[in-house]
Structures are given as structure tokens and as C-alpha cells.
Amino acid sequence: MPDYCKSEKALSALSPQQRRVTQENATEAPGTGAYLHNDEPGIYIDIVSMEPLFSSSDKFESGCGWPSFSAPLEPQYIIQLQDPSHGMARTEVRSKYGDSHLGHVFTDGPVDRGGMRYCINSAALKFIHLDDMQAEGYGDFIARVRKNP
């Protein structure tokens, strides 16, 4: 397993928006995220720790204004915490090793995919295209991206 971790080097490379989202629990404005309309095949990793988080195969259009996924790529890299902020009872989603704030998970996702909606900030993610996954060290996940291998 690669050594996923939060490093000073990774943190110093973050844009102000990426830092606000991942380190200060901010949320990017709806409809503004770079990956909201990305339909390319690949995986989404934590911008801080490079942990593999979501597959394009699990991405769907929810209409909420943020990229939405029906399931994590590898559940062991996702931490869920209760988030009572803003007077709401929500479940926050964070990366395990990067401890990055990713977004929130809700139970109003597609029923045929398990009913979950992981509503994730683009600013917390880096996209690795299917064509680059092997070279970038994510070859073990290629079969999980292809819908019809």
C-alpha cells in the first residue's frame, strides 16, 4: 500500500480555495467546482494525501451543485463524523490519512446504487484519468473504473 499522509509539502501546494475547503471545513459555492460536470473515466483522489476516494463509475448527476458519488472507491479511506453545524444534523466526510474535509454524505442517492449521495467539494479532489492511472500508481483500481471491462 502506498504511504498516504498529510505533508507540509502537499499543504503548501494547495490553492487558497483548496486550503479553505480541506483544512478549514469550508464549502465551495454550488455549481462552481471543477469536477461537477467531469464525465471522463478515472478516479478522484484526496488533493492532500493522494488517497483513492471515488471512481467515475460511481459518479452521478444529483442536481445539488457538487460532484456526487454513490459510494467510496475504498471505504477504509473515508471517515464519517457527525456535523451539527449550521443547525443541521449532517454526516461529514473526511479522508482518513489526509484528514481533509471532503463534503457530506446523505441518504437520498440513487436507490439502485445503495441510496447514498456523497456530496463532495471539487477543491478537495484531484482527478486521475483512466489513461494515466497505471503510471500514477493507481493501476489496481482500473477495473473498478471501467463499467464494461
Q: What is the pLDDT along the chain (149 residues), one digit of tens a residue?
A: 456 778 888 899 999 999 999 999 999 999 999 999 999 999 999 999 999 999 999 999 999 999 999 999 999 999 998 876 766 678 999 999 999 999 999 999 999 999 999 999 999 999 999 999 999 999 999 999 976 44
CATH number for the domain that contains residue 51:
2.170.150.20
In a domain, 3, yes or no: no
119 is catalytic: yes
Length of the chain: 149
In a domain, 53, yes or no: yes
**Domain range holding 129?**
8-145
Residue position matching grid coordinates 483544512: 23
In a domain, 117, yes or no: yes
Give 3-state DSSP helix, strand, coil % of the chain, rounded to 5: 25, 25, 45
Given the residues 47, 93, 119, 123, the one annotated as active site: 119
Specify the number of domains making up the chain: 1
Neighbours of 114 (CB within 10 A): 12
Helices assigned H by DSSP within 2-147? 8-12, 16-24, 142-145
Instruction: Give yes or no for a contact between 105 and 119, defined as CB atoms under 8 angstroms apart.
Output: yes
In a domain, 95, yes or no: yes
In a domain, 1, yes or no: no
In a domain, 40, yes or no: yes
